[in-house]
Structure 1
Amino acid sequence: MVGKKSGRALLRDEGLQRTDNNMEFTSWPQVNMINQKNYYTEFLKRDDQTLALRLQHDEQLDRRKKAAVDIDRARAQAAQDGLPFTEPAPAADEDNDDDEDMEDADSESFGSKTIVIHVGSQNLRLGFATDALPKTVPMVIARKSKQSEAEDSEPRPKRMKLDVAPEEWFGEEFAKEYTSMASDFKISRRANKRRVLPNSRELVTKWNTQNTPEFISEHNDPLRIEWTETSEALDYIVGEAALRIPDDSKPRYRLHWPIRHGWLNEEDYTSRHALERDFFLIIEESIRSELGLKHKKEWNQYSCVFLIPDIYEKVLVGRVLEELFLDFGFQKVCFMQESLAASFGAGFSTACIVDIGAQKTSVCCVEDGMCIEDSRINMKYGGYDVTETFVKMMLFDHFNYDEFNLARRHDFLLAEDLKDKHTTLSDENVTVQLYDFHVRASGQETRKYQFKIYDEGQLAPLGYFRPAIFEHSEKVNGRRKLIPRSVDLYSGHPNDPLPLAQMAVIAYVDRNVPSAVMAPPAKPARLLGTPTVSTPSKPRPLGLPGHLNGGDDGTPRSSVAGSPPPEDIGNGTPQPNGEGGANGEDSADIHGAQPDVEVIDRTVPLMPLDQAILTSIHHACTTSSNAAAPINESRRRDLLGAILVIGGASKTPYLREYLEQRLRASMPQYPKEILVAGPPRELDPEVLVWKGGSVFGKLRMTNDSWIGALEYDRLGTRILHYKCMWHW
């Protein structure tokens, strides 16, 4: 039995004894481990350590260094000339909040070097922040083509049949809806003690059928149109001049609208590059022509406030940010949501903003300088839908200008003029009346038509409250054909904003307007480079990403509606007792499975305007998606008393009064609180959003919302997560 060895024997026999010369393995200094029981760091714990404040501090330091160098140079020059030198008084810091003379170092008012840009579906508005009103430019570009848009497409409004009577041109669905609206209008007029002639429609039809136009020679027409001259040297024409190009011009030009219904117009383009090129080219040419900035080398002295929709697309916002820095070369850029800008322009701290534009209508509640996220709604109808429906109604009643085609440029301008003159929501003077208009086309004699209308001028804008009368069949065509949706870099889930109020709108469409839900494609094409979005069946709470919900599920597959919307939304008319979900207490518990994003892209979001407002206010006053969650009654009363209706289409006479009447009928428990108002101080509702952006642009640039070129160069579009005034 072998005995136990001592420790010294083990070191000797087993080779464990140390035999080195005590030299270190490396000359590099060794860092000892931190004692985790007692250590402290201030990294990113103070405000002055953030990127924005560090850069502002560096700018102030550079400014002080420059001022010190200028003083030393002036002192040396005075000593050389033998003159006494008086040191100037130190300049006040720029971060103070006093309201003294807002002058910068160059004795120019703040905002004179700030450009405010607001892009709409039909018009672009831009100008300096110090301007009283913006410049308005049609958001259209004309490019050379073999055929014009009128020659290459079917007439609009789209006729389903041509060899039949005008009553059958637009199909049975439109005829049924139009007849129903006319019948309801008669009932309401009788209830209001208005006189209703039983044969009014027949009088209109008979007159329009029998009257022919009167021809006027061009030299006898004092209001003849000055058409845009074209030549082979002009590759493109932008703005108002593009709308004045004759349809039969030589060479031919085709109009392109890069923005349709608040989205990039993917249907009419074949490549993403061409679509984005036209979008930014219209803005660039408008800055050159309308603001007088001819050379891009001067643009690095200017900053830009760019107004975006409340429910934005991150891909487009990131692309705009890239273009404004890399191509336009602006010094600083700031993004601002439209509803927030409207509250700035109106001077309201709390309001429900209703923006009725040309092709989209947005509703959003604003409180204390922030858009309430779950209250945002974006619907795809507006003033252009009223124009198209008004023309369809007149053609339905045997309008004597039966070749009306909104795809032709002069007819489009004529239709907009007729809508502005003859549409109203007041039933005071709705009788059979005689009007006239002139058709002015290039190379043709002016034609003077006399026509009669009865209630078409009121039924067309009533489409805001019965959107099923509008044409929705082509509004989502080409959606996601060129522009991929934004997805989270880590989870791969879509991360564009999808508020709860917008979900209620999708639910309304699924149940009440099935024609606005497009059929799925047979073989959906997947964009190159677009991450695949999984659709497992496991539901998850709405608004919570899958990777934060205890699972790795993607977007669940479910019906279009995660859960039913408010009860008063389901039947198309508000409940008189005001007990529906949009009114408060019985709102749907929208916390089930989230709709498939593919279904959302195929759904045209629309809802009656009054119900959309109540839905938005309801979701602004709840603290949770649960129906049993308490309602902030004080906030609801504040929002009901500050409904601000803006946008170009809101200029329809008596629209605000009619809307207030319908809201009070839906919410009888608030007889005095509901108030629908227009812009204060007689501001034009078309430019109120731009005006709010200009107000913000005139503030001192000491807030964190401005993005500098150095910040974009370091972080790219990721800087939006830190710089936006809302949760990006």
Structure 2
Amino acid sequence: MDYLKTVVPSQLLAERGSNLVVINPGSANVRIGLAQQDTPFNIPHCIARYTNQLPKLYVKDQMLNIQVTTAQHMDREKAYDIIASLLKIPFLDEEVANSSFPRKTGRVDGYNTQSGRKDVAFTWANVYEQETNSSLASVMHIPGAERPTIESHIGEASEKHESTDAQEPTTSGHKYRGFICGEEALRIPPTEPYCLHRPIRRGHLNISQHYPMQQVLEDLHTIWDWILVKKLHIPQSERSMYAAILVLPETFDDREIKEMISIVLRDLCFSSAVVHQEGLAAVFGNGLSMACIVNIGAQVTSVTCIEDGVAIPNTEKNLPFGGEDISRCLLWTQRHHQTWPQIRTDILTKPIDLLMLNRLRESYCEIKEGEVDAVAVVHSYEEGVPAGSHKTRLTALNVPPMGLFYPMLLVPEVYSPPPRSWFHDYEDMLEDTWHIEYPRRPDMPDGLFPGINVGLSMWDSYPVFPSRPNKEEKVGLAEAITSSILSTGRIDLKRKLFCSIQLIGGVALTPGLTPVVEERVLHAIPSNEAIDTVEVLQSRTNPTFVSWKGGAILGILDFGRDAWIHREDWIRNGIHVGSGRKYKDSYYLQAQAMCYINS
């Protein structure tokens, strides 16, 4: 302990972080890196697999579609006009008078700009093997691969994960790659024989009738293994020397957490693993002890309150929208105002279009009063031709991010629901797969597991919930933050939390978001609450990576050492519900009293 008090943090990271791999999975991206790194690899969380099935699905859960009902369309237009009134811009159907710029200037072939990455077109991925050695071809196709040397494990990994479908040679003698991960998977031409898989959707495993659990878990394993091998250069044969820190979003259910631990320990062969909650990790990532964490991700926005390094019960709120919804709203807004070029932009059949929209949103969207227009280059992607460049003047760029506060503006996709028994049958699922051997306490409500208060006197003052609450809300961001903080009950704590709001996630980088959050949360506080100050704290690190960084710090400091799970114990015994070793970083994990038993 004396050493920990005197050591320089960077020295501790260097000493202990070289064999700790931090994995922070999200719906759209996964962040993986060694704890000693400043930033992780941030890679699209998807995989495209070769298929010879006809008709071919573009994506594995192709039954999804974007259906906008008449009522939703009216609600969206109403939300737009409310936002327009607040921002002092023309309403949806009003023409912008006296514009000094034409709405669009058409295609500009050979357009060259010095404005940087935001105007650079994406390129179609190469889907063919180019060497006899398939593993060499895989390395050669990975953009930014740092080490060209080929180790035997790459061939083994490729052979293990390659699609069992026959790979038909082309006229040039090349063969299709069995699978393609990350951004390359999103840049595959839609005419190629590949099906895109996204194993996590809206904060849950993307299980459906068309995407079974076994395939989802295999895809997660393949993506993570590919990153470990090709980016971190950690072959499976060396992983017994590494431990894994899983920094998981609050949206995941017990079964999903268990399956991810199994992937890390059983399939990826790490020596040990520990689970930390994303919101809690964010607090440590910014060096705080308490905060209201507002995590605005690509597909889900989560709010949770942390006090003294522990998630406060019943403060968690999940909103089913994020950055990708803002990007889709950007496209809808431009099409309505007829500023979008006459090109075929389709994010369902051409995921490369979503990459383009995300980049436009990150580059041009901001929140401020008045008309916010920008001259931008929009790209069209069609099979067999280079990307087309279309210079156009985009308008109302401050409206889409306001959808965070008026979610009616963000019409969600319609998906086939996951099998109800898989997610909602908690007790049966646990009894079947986790081998419960402990009797239920007679005084415990049916929805709770035994041992919730064993050794957890700190929670005696909190109410006992009959079941895990339904945390998904149909409200705007300001209402969710206010509701989360007010649910803590104590006036002194509420005042501190309203002055300690922390915005994390990629959308937190949106210019102008912070003052709007402060203003709207302040107005959302009921008048009978003696609170008159709201403050959003400036993040000390990149909001996109703050939870990942916090997970690295938690792992290095060895908080809750008993929470680490060793591979042999997990494979031999699984985990049990009852007394014993417990996760110490999440109220809900504590409430489940998850532990594993030493032999």
For normalisation by structure 1, the TM-score amounts to: 0.62
Q: Which residue of 1 aligns with 2:366?
A: 424
Structure 2 SS opposite 1:723: coil
1:661 aligns with 2:559: no
What is the alpha-carbon distance in structure 1 between the residues aligned to residue 64 and residue 95 of structure 2? 27
1:678 corresponds to: 538
Per-residue deviation, 1:304:
0.8
Which of 289, 310, 317 in structure 1 is aligned with 2:250? 310
The structure 2 residue matched to 1:138, chosen from 39, 44, 60, is 44
- Map of 1:180 onto structure 2: 78
Give yes or no for contact 2:221–2:267 (8 Å, CA) kept in 1: no
Q: 1:152 to 1:213 in 2, by over 3 A?
A: farther
Deviations 1:349-370 (A, max 9, x none): 0110000000011100001110
State the Cα deviation string for residues 689-710 of structure 1 (Å, max 9, x = none).
0000111122247722212235
Deviation per residue, 1:450-494 (Å, 9 max, x gap)? 434432x2221111111122223525x232268454533xxx599
Within 1, Cα distance between the matches of 2:556 and 2:464? 42
Partners of 1:700 and 1:548 lie apart in 2 by 36
Change in Cα spacing, 1:593 to 1:102, as seen in structure 2 (3 Å) is closer
Alignment map for 1:61-140 (pairs within 5 Å):
98-100=5-7, 109-140=15-46
Q: What pairs with 1:676-715 in structure 2 (closer than 5 Å)?
A: 676-680=536-540, 683-700=541-558, 703-713=561-571, 715=573
Cα distance between partner residues in 2 of 1:366 and 1:701: 16
| Cα deviation digits, residues 493-552 of structure 1 (max 9, x gap) | 999xxxxxxxxxxxxxxxxxxxxxxxxxxxxxxxxx799xxxxxxxxxxxxx9975688x
| CA RMSD after TM alignment | 3.9
| Alignment correspondent of 2:575 | 717
* C-alpha distance in structure 1 between counterparts of 2:64 and 2:368, whole Å: 28
Partners of 2:522 and 2:559 lie apart in 1 by 43
User: C-alpha distance in 2, partners of 1:716/1:530?
Assistant: 9
Which ranges of structure 1 fall in alignment gaps of 5 or more residues? 1-93, 161-169, 496-528, 532-544, 556-589, 623-631
Separation in structure 1 between the aligned mates of residue 4 and residue 111 of structure 2, nearest angstrom: 65
- How much does 1:612 deviate? 0.5
Return the alpha-carbon distance in structure 1 between the equivalents of residues 14 and 466 of structure 2.
Answer: 55
- In terms of Rg, which structure is larger? 1
**3-state secondary structure, aligned to 1:111:** helix
Give deviations 1:312-367, integer Å, cap 9, x for gaps: 31111112222322222222211000011000001110110000000011100001
Q: Residues 609-648 of structure 1 correspond to what in structure 2 (within 5 A)?
A: 609-619=477-487, 621-622=488-489, 632-648=490-506
Gaps of 5+ in 2: 113-118, 129-174, 449-462, 593-599
* 1:373 match: secondary structure: coil
Q: Which residue of 2 aligns with 1:24?
A: none
Show the counterpart of 1:200. Answer: 95
- Please state whether the residue corresponding to 1:436 is helix, strand or coil: strand
Q: Tell me which amino acid in the other structure corresponds to 1:425.
A: I
Give the distance between the partners of 2:205 and 2:65, measured in 1 at CA.
22
Letter in 1 for 2:366: T
Q: SS at the partner of 2:37?
A: coil
Q: How does 1:474-513 map to 2 (within 5 A)?
A: 474-475=414-415, 477-480=416-419, 483-485=422-424, 487-488=426-427, 492=428
Deviations, residues 112-159 of structure 1 (Å, cap 9, x unaligned): 11111000111111111111111111101010124665599989984x
- Look up the match of 2:162: none
**Residues 171, 678 of structure 1: alpha-carbon distance in 2 compared, 3 angstrom cutoff:** same
SS at match of 2:561: coil
Q: Are the equivalent residues in 2 in contact too, given 1:215–1:446 (CA < 8 A)?
A: no
Deviation at 1:235, TM superposition (A): 1.0
Determine if the alignment matches structure 1 residue 341 to structure 2 residue 200: no
SS in 1 for 2:324: helix
Opposite residue 427 of structure 1, the aligned amino acid is: E
Distance, in Å, in 1 between the alignment partners of 2:573 and 2:380 is 55
Q: Report the 3-state secondary structure (helix = DSSP H, G, I; strand = E; otherwise coil) of the residue aligned with 2:247.
A: strand
Compared CA separation, residues 342 and 486, structure 1 to 2 (3 A): farther
Q: What does 1:74-473 correspond to in 2, within 5 Å?
A: 98-100=5-7, 109-145=15-51, 146=53, 149-150=57-58, 158=66, 170-189=68-87, 199-201=94-96, 212-216=106-110, 223=120, 225-231=122-128, 232-249=175-192, 252-267=193-208, 269-293=210-234, 295-398=235-338, 399-401=340-342, 403-407=344-348, 408-428=350-370, 430=371, 434-455=375-396, 457-472=397-412
Q: Which amino acid aligns with 1:650?
A: A
Task: Please give the secondary structure, in 1, of the residue aligned with 2:355.
Answer: helix
Distance 2:70 2:414 in 1: 18
* Code of the aligned partner of 2:367: L
Contact 2:60–2:196 (CA under 8 A) maintained in structure 1: no
* Seq. identity, %: 23
Separation of aligned partners in 1, 2:572 and 2:412: 44
**C-alpha distance in 2 between matches for 1:417 and 1:268:** 32
Other structure's SS at 1:291 match:
coil
Q: Is the 8 A contact 1:313 1:486 kept in 2?
A: no
Tell me: CA distance 1:724–1:432, structure 2 relative to 1, closer, same or farther (3 Å).
Answer: closer
Amino acid at match of 2:508: S
Counterpart-to-counterpart distance in 1, 2:466 and 2:375:
55
Q: 1:593 to 1:446 in 2, by over 3 A?
A: closer
SS, match of residue 616 in structure 1: helix
Distance apart, 1:646 and its partner CA: 0.6
Q: State the Cα deviation string for residues 601-645 of structure 1 (Å, max 9, x = none).
A: xx96432111101111112x23xxxxxxxxx11111111110001
Q: How many angstroms does 1:173 deviate by?
A: 2.8
- Partner Cα separation in structure 2 for residue 414 and residue 699 of structure 1: 40
Given the superposition, is the C-alpha separation of residues 197 and 410 from structure 1 closer, same or farther in structure 2, using an over 3 Å criterion?
closer
Contact 2:22–2:245 at 8 Å: present in 1 too? yes
Q: d(CA) in 2 for partners of 1:109 and 1:451? A: 52
Report if the CA contact (8 A) 2:334-2:395 is conserved: no
Query: 2: CA distance between counterparts of 1:716 and 1:494?
Result: 11
Q: Which residue of 2 aligns with 1:58?
A: none
Opposite residue 364 of structure 2, the aligned amino acid is: H
Contact 1:364–1:377 (Cα < 8 Å) also in 2: yes
